[in-house]
């Protein structure tokens, strides 16, 4: 079973920041938080990952709480092309299994 809980859907206005929450209260010390997104009918796309520090790349920022039991993915200026299902995944540093939960369907509206 997936170890994360996400809201099923969210709306965001174009140009505004999209903040997508994820709960992972049972995360263990060697597990990373990964975020992927899947635009309709395409393969999942890697966005960002982190262990305990906040991370930022050209796509997004990842904020992980100090106790590591939750995190937030931030898309700073959402566009219509960011409409997708966003998956938050916790995964061991070593190992193959990536278990996807139900994800959050983000709708960016003009």
When binding is defined by CB under 8 A, the residue of 22, 34, 64, 86 that contacts another protein is 34
User: What's the CA gap between 28 and 10, in Å, rounded?
Assistant: 28
Q: How far apart are CB 46 and another protein at their closest, in Å?
A: 5
Distance between CA atoms of residues 80 and 13, nearest Å: 9
**Residue 107 interacts with another protein (CB under 8 A)?**
no
Judged by CB under 8 A, the chain residues 35 through 74 that form the site for another protein are 36, 41-46, 49, 51
Collect all residues with Cβ–Cβ distance below 8 Å to 4 and sequence separation of at least 6: 22, 23, 24, 88, 89, 90, 101
User: What is the binding site for another protein (CB under 8 A)?
Assistant: 2, 32, 34, 36, 41-46, 49, 51, 87, 91, 93-103
């Amino acid at each position: 079973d997936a170890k994360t809980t996400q809201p099923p859907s969210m709306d965001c206005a174009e140009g505004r920041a999209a903040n997508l929450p994820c709960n992972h209260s049972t995360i263990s010390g060697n597990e990373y938080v990964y975020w992927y997104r899947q635009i309709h009918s395409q393969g999942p796309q890697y966005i960002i990952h982190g262990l305990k520090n906040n991370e930022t790349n050209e796509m997004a920022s990842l904020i992980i709480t100090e106790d590591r039991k939750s995190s937030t993915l931030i898309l700073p200026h959402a566009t219509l092309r960011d409409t997708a299902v966003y998956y938050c995944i916790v995964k061991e540093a070593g190992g193959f299994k990536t278990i996807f939960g139900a994800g959050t369907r983000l709708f960016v509206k003009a």
